[in-house]
Amino acid sequence: MQTTRVFDEIAKAYRDGLRGVDSRGGTRSTKTYSALQFLVFLAVGLARRKLISVVSETLPHLKKGAIRDFERILQDEGIIAGALKDDARWNATDCLFTFAGGTVIEFFSADSPGKVHGPSRDILFINEGQNIRWETARQLMIRTREFIIVDYNPTHEFWAHTELAPDPRFRTIVSTYKDNPFLTPAQVEDIERGKKNANWWRVYGLGETGQLEGVIYEFQQIEAMPDPAGLVRIGGLDYGFTNSKTAGVEVLADVRRKRLYLDEMFYGSGMHNFDIIAALNAHGFPKGGPRLYADCAEPKANSEIKLAGFNVWPSDKGKEITFQIAWLSQWELFVTKTSTNVIHELRNYLWDTDRDGNRLNHPIKEYDHAMDAFRYAAFGQLADFRPPKKTTVRTGKLKR
């Protein structure tokens, strides 16, 4: 097992008999992966059966994050031969894996009251604790017999700072991308490009507690999209490929109440036009019906997707982005819990700043793929700023 300093620090705290660790760090610092490696290492070597719980804010977030990492670790260590879903030891219904010695690692969301207030466990891992309420975390902790791990990006001060850091039973681990020896030079370069935004760099580059000031959109999470009857249905598409993501977002607009509902259709790198068409079909976005607004800078791609039957319209570049964001900010925003990449971008989509921390009149060029797709759709369809037709008044002398 190839491990990092974060793994070693967690293991040492466990051996020292501490109550737990609060592991804060920047992006790609291995804090989540190392915690899961430690739990697998422990589960394989335990002499008696134990229950280990991994908890995050929603089940979709777990499936696209911790469970995916867990599967990779099991594969790397030869514990499973193929996909997790094909292994008899994985209970997909309850999201739990039973090791040979009887130890179980279970995954559940913090929005499951029966699990949060239910039976106790031996070891607890709260993933991305900054997105979980203190009362929920407290209920989980008091039902944990032995050891607790909490990891988070220190975007702002919350209960990990006030309740865990001052507690001598807990050890604080601070990590950054420099603790991850497995990053490629391109990944390091992408991270270090964030230095231009001091606030972002403090949190995600240096792993220091900050405050993500200037978050552009406020939003609420919902279980599912509402019934589209009576609502305006729109799609948005932003292109990327190698170093940026291609994002597709579906929007339902309740014009009367000024509410926008967002659902992630797809989000990924290396997507060709045929991949995008397949993803639109898989999501069920209708052909020949609702408008699909796509980046007007890619007319060839737009034409190919239109030939596949979708009602593609070029995005509106006539108004500057600041104006469009200001217009969209007048609407209430609701996002499905399954839209994990959209939610991640919304939480990190900030106004840019100069070197002195003064806010600039444009957003940072990070976390903007789904945000651009959303903006293309909602502004393109709903903001009708077409000027009225001019009336020509003819003057002059009558011909005699």
Query: Are 175 and 154 contacting, i.e. CB atoms less than 8 angstroms apart?
Result: no
pLDDT score recorded for residue 384? 65
216-236 tens-digit pLDDT: 999 999 999 999 999 999 999
| Range 112-148 burial, b when 16+ CB lie within 10 A, else e | eeebbeeeebbbbbbbbbbbbeeebbeebbebbeebb
Beta strands in the chain (DSSP E): 20-25, 51-56, 90-91, 96-98, 104-109, 121-126, 144-152, 170-175, 220-222, 232-238, 246-254, 259-268, 291-294, 311-314, 332-336, 351-353, 359-363
Q: What pLDDT score does 386 carry? A: 43
Q: What confidence score (pLDDT) does residue 211 get?
A: 65
Average pLDDT along the chain, 400 residues, taken 10 residues at a time: 96 98 96 98 92 96 96 97 96 96 96 87 97 94 98 91 94 97 93 84 90 82 94 96 92 96 96 97 95 94 97 85 91 96 90 76 86 95 60 44
Q: What is the pLDDT of residue 388?
A: 41
d(CA 195, CA 200): 8
Residue 212 has a pLDDT of 65
pLDDT tens column, 136-190:
999 999 999 999 999 999 988 899 999 999 999 999 999 999 999 999 999 999 9
pLDDT of 83-109, one tens digit each?
999 999 999 999 999 999 999 999 999
- The DSSP line for 30-78 is SHHHHHHHHHHHHHHH-SS--EEEEEES-HHHHHHTHHHHHHHHHHHTT
**How far apart are alpha carbons 66 and 70 in whole angstroms?**
6
Q: Which helix (H) or strand (E) holds 391?
A: none
CA dihedral angle for residue 204, residue 207, residue 210, residue 212, rounded to 10 degrees: 10
Per-chain mean pLDDT for the chain? 91
- Return the DSSP state at 386: P
Residues 6+ apart with CB under 8 A from 185: none
- Two tokens at 273? 């036009």
* Region label for 141, one of left (φ > 0), alpha (ψ between -120 and 50) or beta (otherwise): alpha
Which pLDDT belongs to residue 393?
44
Q: What is this structure's pTM?
A: 0.76
Position 400 scores a pLDDT of 38
Quote the CA–CA distance of 169 and 46 in Å, as a whole number: 23
Q: What is the C-alpha separation between 115 and 94, in angstroms, rounded?
A: 11
3-class secondary-structure state, position 130? helix
Q: What is the pLDDT of residue 198?
A: 78
CA 27 to chain centre: 12
* Beta partners for residue 25, in sequence order: 175
